[in-house]
Structure formats: C-alpha cells, structure tokens
Amino acid sequence: MLKRLLAIMTAALIIAAIAVPGFAKDEIKIAYVEWDCAAASTNLVQAVLQEKMGYEVEIIPVAAAAMWQAVGTGDVDGMVTAWLPVTHADYLAKVKDKVENLGPIVGGAKLGWAVPSYVKAESIADLNKYADKFDGRIIGIDPGAGLMRLSEQAVKDYDLKLELMEGSGATMTAALSNAIKNNEWVVVTAWSPHWMFGKWDLKYLADPKGTLGGEEHIDTIVRKGLSKDKPEVYAFLDKFEYKDAVQMQTLMAWNQEPGADRYENAKRFIKEFPETVDSWLK
C-alpha cells in the first residue's frame, strides 16, 4: 500500500513539473531605469517572457550607468532602453566589447527641453530673457541620465542664468502638471516618446546649437554570450520592437491611469496587439 502511495505521489510530481514548464527554465534578469518609456517596455518584455514563453523574469530598476555596467559584466541578461546614438554614447563606449546591440525597438526618439504651448519662449537661447518667468530654474530628472549630462552642457553652451534642478521623471512631470494647472511658466528636460505630450499641449524649444542632439532611437542591448546560453530569449529580444511610436505611447498612457499596474497593462498590450506580439515569437 505504501509503495503504491509513493508511486502515485511521484507520478503526481512528474505531471506537475511537466504542466508548469516555466519552473524548468533559467531566470532572466532585465535592468531598466525608472523612466516611463523604460518601465513600460521592460514590463512588456517581462510579461511576454513569462506569459508566453514560460520563463521567470526579474526586472531590476537601477541608475543608467549601473544599467549599462550590469549588462557589460553579465550580471543581467539585457535591457531595452538604450538611447542612441548620442544620449547613452558614453555608457556604450565603456562596455562596447562586452555587449551586443540588437537594434531599435522604436525610432523617432527625441531629447530636448519642453514648455507649455502658452509660453512665449521659442528657443533655448530665449531663456535668459525670461529667466524670472521661469523662476530661474530648469526642471530636470535623475542626475545619472544622459539627458542631464547634455542639459548641463546646454546651460554652458547658451550661457544660461537658470539653474538645472536634479530630480526624477516623476518629480519633473509633477512640476509640469502643477505649473500648467496654475498657468505658470515652466521649462523641463523632456524626451519623446512620452505620455506627457499626449496629455498636455507642449512644445520643444529650438536648440540652434544642437547641444541636445538630433533624432535618436531606443535599442535593445544584451550581454555577450546570451545567444549561446539562452537562444530562445535572444531570438525574442532580437525581434522585439514596436510597430511605431504610437504603440509605445499607448502603453505608457495606460500606465498613467489611476491605479495602473505596469505588468497588468503589459498583459493588456499582449491581448490588444496580438499580431505585433506574434511577430516577436516566430
């Protein structure tokens, strides 16, 4: 009787293991920075790998420099938020022989400084003239971001009297929201694709010196050796890209809804854009 019971229990364990193949697969680690675009794409990658491919995925929020270093050392498998060719150029240069670029997930990306459309300033060169209206401040994001490095250079290149304030993506959009509610002037470090351009009527300030760079693309970067260690994951990340910037901004907008859950919205994307998702898995 005991032998029979043990046999039944053993069979049950085998069936359970077969029924949940994800338990047999290695864990995937993806690094990202706490920017809205990065968080949206990273959660989407996590959802596809877990819901469609059966992997366990850990996503790790870090500063930009640490993100690149982690991929370079192989501590994580990859990331889907490399802004190139300008913003993250310095980070890439330090690890270029240790990583592989799988190409863009979306093009038409842009960095710059943005203001509400009711602001009279049209160019970064105009800011000193209106410094008092802006309370002498440019609202920035986290100090490790490539955008902040370029913004610091812009302050020097344009000999601005305004102070570049450090913060985060969340504090930047909060300051922007508060200023617009009160019809006040504000200038923020900005990038697109970003949900704020869909929520508010904003404009980029002209950058005649070109300090903040031109059009960029957001790329997937993986550690060297991923294609051999985890070929299925590598193949998916190699194909992962949005159909267009609208798809990405749609996902980002969902994440701004009250009570939004990034992972649940990633699962929603999988359901609402099946053709795009299927193209990543072929």
Would the pTM of this model clear 0.75, i.e. be above it? yes
- 255 within some domain: yes
Say how far apart CA 204 and CA 116 lie, in whole Å: 9
> Which pair of tokens denotes residue 117?
């459309």
Residues comprising the chain, all counted? 282
Q: Which domain holds residue 183?
A: 110-204
Clarify whether residues 142 and 62 are in a common domain: no
Residue 85 CB coordination number (10 Å): 14
Clarify whether residues 190 and 233 are in a common domain: no
The pLDDT of residue 87 is 85
Clarify whether residues 171 and 147 are in a common domain: yes
The pLDDT of residue 5 is 46
Clarify whether residues 153 and 227 are in a common domain: no
Clarify whether residues 131 and 197 are in a common domain: yes
**Does the pLDDT value for residue 174 go beyond 80?**
yes
What CATH code is carried by the domain that includes residue 131?
3.40.190.100
Clarify whether residues 160 and 99 are in a common domain: no
Listed residue (71, 8, 56) closest to 219, CA to CA: 71
Clarify whether residues 88 and 223 are in a common domain: yes
Clarify whether residues 245 and 166 are in a common domain: no
Clarify whether residues 120 and 55 are in a common domain: no
Clarify whether residues 58 and 192 are in a common domain: no
> Which pair of tokens denotes residue 254?
């969902």
- What residues contact 251, with CB distance under 8 A and at least 6 apart? 40, 41, 44, 265, 266, 269
7 confidence band (pLDDT: 50, 70, 90):
very low
**CB-based contact 281:240 (threshold 8 Å):** no
Clarify whether residues 115 and 241 are in a common domain: no
**Does the pLDDT value for residue 121 go beyond 90?**
yes
- ω before 21 within 30° of 0 (cis)? no
- 16 within some domain: no
Of 204, 229, 257, the position where a domain reaches its end is 204
In total, how many domains does the chain have?
2
Clarify whether residues 49 and 168 are in a common domain: no
- 276 within some domain: yes
Say how far apart CA 71 and CA 78 lie, in whole Å: 6
The tens digit of pLDDT for each residue in 207-248 reads: 999 999 888 999 999 999 999 999 999 999 999 999 998 899
The tens digit of pLDDT for each residue in 160-172 reads: 999 999 999 999 9
Listed residue (109, 137, 64) closest to 245, CA to CA: 109
5-22 average pLDDT score? 43
**Does the pLDDT value for residue 18 go beyond 80?**
no
3 confidence band (pLDDT: 50, 70, 90):
very low
54-81 average pLDDT score? 97
The pLDDT of residue 14 is 40
* Pairing label, strands 99-116, 202-204: antiparallel
- 262 within some domain: yes
4-23 average pLDDT score? 43
Q: In whole numbers, what is the pLDDT of the chain averaged over residues?
A: 91
What CATH code is carried by the domain that includes residue 267?
3.40.190.10
Return the HEC string of the chain: CHHHHHHHHHHHHHHHHHHCHHHHCCEEEEEECCCHHHHHHHHHHHHHHHHHCCCEEEEEECCHHHHHHHHHHCCCCEEEEEEECCCCHHHHHHHCCCEEEEEEEEEEEEEEEEEECCCCCCEHHHHHHHCCCCCCEEECCCCCCHHHHHHHHHHHHCCCCCEEECCCHHHHHHHHHHHHHCCCCCCEEEEECCCHHHHCCEEECECCCCCCCCCEEEEEEEECCHHHHCHHHHHHHHHCCCCCHHHHHHHHHHCCCCCCCHHHHHHHHHHHCHHHHHHHHC
